[in-house]
A and B are shown apart, each in its own frame.
Chain A
Amino acid sequence: MTPRHAESLACAFMGLAGLVMIIATPHLIAGHNSDQPYYLQSAFFPWVALTIVCVFGFIGALQAFAGVERVQSDEIESGDSSVVLGVLGMVIFGSSVFVSLTFGYAIAVWISALALGLLARLSFKSSILISSLLAVALYGIFVIGFKVWFPTAWILN
């Protein structure tokens, strides 16, 4: 699948999801009163937003499929970034929540930064150095300096 097709498919999915949500909206609002005038109903603005998603999602799918020339913008560019590494990075980032709950914040930063460094093929020495520096600096600035509270690590309980 080419990037153009993937973009087109994603837009079509968003359009379809918008359509489904338009229908489902009254059911997803607790105590929705459909007898009120339309502008007083709490579903009014979500409908406006979802209609935009739906209509422009389908148009965008067609445009992307046809291929459009893009202008340079301040959007993030994926460049030659690896998808697999990105997904693994996200998994490590997500699991650092559990590591933080279990071992505490500083150790969680150290472990996840070390794992990310090794995953990104940085040398073992660099990974150790960067993760240690990060753990100490962030703990010092945020936990000690800004007094950000973290729950006591499970291991200490």
Chain B
Amino acid sequence: MIEIFSSFNSVFSAPVISAIFVGSVLGIIVGVLPGIGPGVAIAVLLPLTYGMSPLAGISVLLGIYCGAFYGGAITSILIRTPGEASSIMTMFDGYPLAKKGQAGRALSVAFMSSFVGGIFSAISIALLAPYIAKFTSRFGAPEFSATAALALMCIAKAYKGQFAISMMSLGFGLFMGTIGIDQTSSENRFTFNRPELLTGVPLVPVIIGLFGIAQGLILFATKPKLLTIEIPDSELSWKGFLEPFKYKVTLFKSVLLGTAIGVLPAVGAALSTSLSYFEARRTSKNPESFGQGNPEGIVAAEAANNSNSGGAMGTVLTLGIPGDAVTAIIMGVFIVHGVYPGPQLFVEKPELAYGIFSSLVIINIVIFAILLMTTKYIVRLVKVEERILGLVILALCFIGAYSSATSYYGVFIALVFGFLGWGCAFLHIPVIPMALGLVMGDFFESSLRQTLNISSGSWLIFWDRPIAGSIVLLTLLILIWPLFSYIHKGLKRSTS
């Protein structure tokens, strides 16, 4: 508890507060701008964090991450265009309310619900994290390798209907992570005598390429559209801010659900918002009003949406496992700064670990304050031309990739992966598993080889340890469950 309060000291320093402010503003803008998600923005703006302290750098990115959740609600409510999958549920009731001339009320409800969700999840995970870290500090190599396998499996599983393709993408990411000098044997793997490849494929240009360049090219090559967007009046109201508290049970349930789902790797905010929304509708006395402008629907969706951020950061910090593209990139920033997330972080650098949660609390307050003052101006950004955005993103990607190693080699790598990401977007092959595979490959390989080294190559070591065994069992169950389900359905069909 003391650590949490004392961590506010490190947050209340000029560089970190400025970073929080810049990140929050950028996040809101990114959430409102068409076609850009927080992943792309974070990838493109990653180089800005190089000269900063780890806490300041991560605060910028967290500001973008959280700000985009708030910003996404604006476009969902006002112009029926959810920027992110997680904002779809907000649109269901937000847009009808805006059409009734109550856009300001809908936005106020959404912002306050997001605010409560963000603050609650940051504080609750900060309180729980030491216990989780204490538990995971007992983990050895077998437990870590089993957890990494489970996390990777969850990531692939998140792509319903595309499990095999996302596993393929994940495998490719893991393979890319093996390029360079092998830390165990010091042998050069797939380096083709190129000295640049000895240290492996650089993460930052890869991320810039996969997310930034790919998105930039798609936006730049988008056919020009006739912009006929009518933005309704969006004056925020204090009455609207108090409205979420009328639905206390929904608010509480959504925040809990969002935080809990945020902890799970890869499940993501989209699922938590839909679960909360449908749960709110199921338990409502007036379920037929959902989808027609019921503020309770906005409360359920937005509270769950923003509470994901705290949960997701909890997993990264206590286990060292990123759950989505954004947390994977944030983990990349940790690594760039020589900080390795995991249970030891709470022992070795408590001011950083707790500082991140304190920073999340401050970020939510700053975003809320910014939105109070600027919403009616920010909404105009929805009219920005996608082609211009693409152009700006490409220019930022060039300097970002170059400055990652102060060399054109970074630009070359970004271009190669940009081409790959762009091609994957057309072929509907997910690239987030690829990025996560690359980020986690090293950790997975070292813990797996260490495990097998302890057991002299016997895989039965996982069964000798209850925690590792349970995790492996869960992973296998997730893997073969569709097969069981398929056989069960087949049997049912044949008997009927």
Chain A residues in the interface with B (C-beta under 8 A): 3, 6-7, 10-11, 14-15, 18, 21, 28-33, 36-46, 48-53, 56-57, 59-60, 63-64, 68-86, 89-90, 93-94, 96-97, 100-101, 105, 109, 112-113, 116-117, 120-122, 126, 130, 134, 138, 142, 146, 148-150
Contact = CB atoms under 8 A, between A and B. Distances in A.
Most buried by A among B170, B396, B411, B428: B428
25 contacts: A6-B427, A11-B165, A15-B168, A29-B182, A45-B178, A46-B178, A48-B448, A49-B172, A49-B174, A49-B175, A53-B168, A60-B165, A68-B162, A70-B160, A73-B158, A75-B432, A76-B40, A76-B215, A84-B221, A86-B422, A89-B390, A97-B408, A109-B395, A113-B395, A116-B391
B482 to A, nearest CB: 11
The listed residue with most A CB atoms (<10 A of its CB), out of B51, B164, B270, B403, is B164
B448 A45 contact: yes
Contacts, number: 256
Given A120-B391, A138-B396, A142-B403, A75 B184 contact: no
B247 interface: no
A33 B189 CA distance: 12
Given A52-B168, A72-B88, 15 more contacts: A18-B171, A29-B187, A33-B187, A49-B174, A52-B171, A60-B167, A71-B159, A74-B324, A74-B432, A76-B40, A89-B220, A89-B221, A101-B408, A109-B395, A142-B399
B415 A74 contact: no
Interface stretch (B121-129, B358-366, B451-459): B451-459
A56 to B, nearest CB: 4
Chain B interface, >50% SS class: helix
B165 A56 contact: yes
Interface in B359-400: 385, 387-388, 390-392, 394-399
Contacts of B162: 60, 63, 68, 70
Contacts of B423: 10
B84 interface: yes
A39 B446 CA distance: 11
Q: Name, among A57, A113, A120, A150, the residue most crowded by chain B CB atoms within 10 Å (CB to CB).
A: A120
B18 to A, nearest CB: 14
Nearest to A45: B445
A33 B425 contact: no
Interface in B401-453: 402-403, 406, 408, 411-412, 415, 418-419, 421-423, 425-432, 437, 441, 444-445, 448-449, 452-453
Contacts of A78: 218, 425-426
Contact of B165 (A28, A33, A63): A63
Contacts of A75: 425, 430-432
B160 A3 contact: no
B224 A121 contact: yes
Contacts of B394: 89, 93, 112, 116
B85 A72 contact: yes
A120 B160 contact: no
B289 interface: no
Given A30-B188, A56-B167, A148 B425 contact: no
A35 B40 CA distance: 45
B116 interface: no
B470 interface: no
Contacts of B412: 97
B222 interface: yes
Contacts of B431: 75-76
A105 B406 CA distance: 12
A73 B398 contact: no
A21 B268 CA distance: 33
A132 to B, nearest CB: 12
Contact of A7 (B172, B428, B448): B428
Contacts of A85: 220-221
